[in-house]
Structure 1
Amino acid sequence: MAKLLADAPLAGERIMLSLMRIVVGLLYLQHGTSKLLGFPVSRGGMPEPWSPPWFAGCIELTGGILLVLGLLSRPAAFICAGQLAVIYWFWNFPRDAMPYVNGGSVVIAYCFVFLMVFFAGPGPISLDAMIVRKDRQAPQGAMAADTAD
């Protein structure tokens, strides 16, 4: 019981961070595919190119893919969080100050999950982590030869 209350990391903490990033990325990706591809369902038809919903769909589609793969996770998460903050303040907040009433609860939750990924990183199950591991395993002589040019 004391271990659950302590600040010490639990055994699966980093893996759960990766799983959270993947699942939330897949959920977010559906918003983009719905807007831009009409899949799994299109609400209100396809947005006009260069309109705010079109840009939102582009960010959701691209950001969702990058987050699922764990590639460029921190920049993708930061951009997605920023998009969600803009959506909340310009779309939800003017309706009512309370997130439950204005429909912004999910928007806020997504925003803070993406901020978590931005600050905590993508976790060990990601292309970002694989690239870092590969760079750390490169022979020292090869790195010295690259820097000599």
Structure 2
Amino acid sequence: MSDTQTTWAERARAALRIIAGLLFLAHGLVKLTGFPAGAEPGQVELASLFGAGAVIELVGGSLLVIGLFSRPAAFLMSGEMAVAYFMFHAPASFYPAVNGGDAAILFCFIFLYLSVSGPGAWSVDSLIGSAPRSVVQA
């Protein structure tokens, strides 16, 4: 892989990490604060399964956005989404288009990918040297 391709691959992975982190953070914000009003499921009890998920979503999403502890945060969030899918979506129907689990599946595999590939460019992990520059070697 050329240097130019590697640079753009790192930037694209960073964009995926940041956007996925922001979306996940937003899900946690809804569950912890009820913001924005009208979003489902709304504010939940902190001492519940949904509350624990909300904390993971808010903290993990924030860590992913800045790229700090990206791999372990992404791995934990991937597991949360696998659990969410099989506990809450799959029992309703086998088909994700019917059970509403599309986002949970996508988040699960995006986070699994990031836990293996690393945060990409523009991350605190890269600045402090806890993430390799690139997993792909020429």
Does the pair score TM above 0.5? yes
The alpha carbon displacement at 1:49 in A equals 2.5
For residues 96 and 119 of structure 1, do their structure 2 counterparts lie closer, same or farther at Cα, with a shift above 3 Å needed? same
TM-score for the superposition, normalised by structure 2: 0.86
Deviation beyond 4 Å, 4+ runs, structure 1: none
Q: Deviations over 1:78-109 (max 9, x none)?
A: 01000000000010000111111111111100
Aligned residue pair count = 126
> Which of residues 24, 27, 33 is equivalent to 1:31?
27
C-alpha distance in structure 2 between counterparts of 1:44 and 1:68, whole Å? 23
C-alpha distance in structure 1 between counterparts of 2:86 and 2:73, whole Å? 20
For residues 131 and 25 of structure 1, do their structure 2 counterparts lie closer, same or farther at Cα, with a shift above 3 Å needed? same
TM-score for the superposition, normalised by structure 1: 0.79
> Which of residues 76, 95, 114 is equivalent to 1:79?
76
Q: Deviations over 1:5-44 (max 9, x none)?
A: xxx4624011110111001100110000111022223535
Task: Say yes or no: does 1:21 pair with 2:29.
Answer: no
Which is greater in Rg? 1
For residues 18 and 45 of structure 1, do their structure 2 counterparts lie closer, same or farther at Cα, with a shift above 3 Å needed? closer
> Unaligned stretches of 5+ in structure 1?
1-7, 134-149
Partner of 1:4: none
Q: 1:15 touches 1:123 (CA, 8 Å); kept in 2?
A: yes
> Unaligned stretches of 5+ in structure 2?
131-138
